[in-house]
Amino acid sequence: MTQDLLEAMNGRAGHFLLESGHHGDLWLDLDRLLVSAADVQRWAGGLADLLREHDVSAVCGPLVGGAIVAELVAARLDVDCYYAQRFTSPTEVSYRIPAGRQEELAGRRVAVVDDVVNAGSAVGKTRDALTEIGSRPVVVGALLALGTRAVELTQDWGAELTALATVPSNLWDADDCPLCRDGVPLERPGPA
């Protein structure tokens, strides 16, 4: 399964500037992950089976990739599906639950679902948006988890990270990056 997911995203090693601002040694083309509807449905079904034991009544994913996977997971679990919208300003990125859906989510046990979790910023900010409206995020589900930071982040909330596959990956704050210290050129990959 792990190799299947990595091949779908053209994973490659190197020195990369990630959207979170961190530096990492693995680049994944997340947009390619969602190209094959049959594969995404199969992977989301496997993730849903892993999440079933958490007895959630809703699934919420950060737009875009996480929300697509969340919808398929919710369908398999036969629960409601929601999404968190991404907002950017010059100084920060935040996620919010649409105003018209907030009341519906209050008090509910929710699985936060994403396609890939690395630094955990999208799932963390989705979790923050859910708790602000009174939801109870109890588990984070991902098709692929990279490294250990996401596990540590979810444990800090008192939740569990459940992933279909896990891949070792290093993630550093820009000031602490050993690849920068070693003079390895930094790549800024992005959409073509």
Has residue 17 been placed in a domain? Answer: no
- Cβ-in-10-Å burial (0-12, 13-18, 19+) of 29 comes to middle
Task: Quote the CA–CA distance of 3 and 164 in Å, as a whole number.
Answer: 12
Look at residue 135 and tell me if it is in a domain: yes
Residue range of the domain that includes 155:
37-169
pLDDT at 192: 43
- pLDDT of residue 31 exceeding 70, the answer is yes
Confidence (pTM): 0.89
Res. 149 pLDDT band, cuts 50 70 90: confident
* Residue 43 near residue 143, CB atoms below 8 Å: yes
Statement: residue 100 has pLDDT above 50: yes
DSSP 45-71: HHHHHHHGGG--SEEEEETTHHHHHHH
Most confident of 116-120, 123-127, 158-162: 123-127
- Report the number of distinct structural domains present in the chain: 1
Residue 7 confidence class, pLDDT cut points 50, 70, 90: confident
Query: Rounded mean pLDDT of 61-73?
Result: 93
> Any idea what the CATH number is for the domain that residue 155 is in?
3.40.50.2020
Give pLDDT tens digits for 160-182.
Answer: 899 998 888 899 999 999 999 99
Exposure string (b/e) for 11-24, b if CB count within 10 Å is 16 or more?
Answer: beeebbbbebebbb
Residue 182 lies in a domain: no
What is d(CA 64, CA 114) in angstroms, rounded to the nearest whole number? 9
The stretch 55-80 carries a mean pLDDT of 95
Is residue 13 one of the residues assigned to a domain? no
Strand-strand pairing, 93-96 and 80-88: antiparallel
- Find the mean pLDDT for residues 123-148: 93
Strands (E) in 97-134, as ranges, are 109-117
Take residue 192 and report the two structure tokens written for it. Answer: 């073509």
- Residue 179 domain-assigned? no
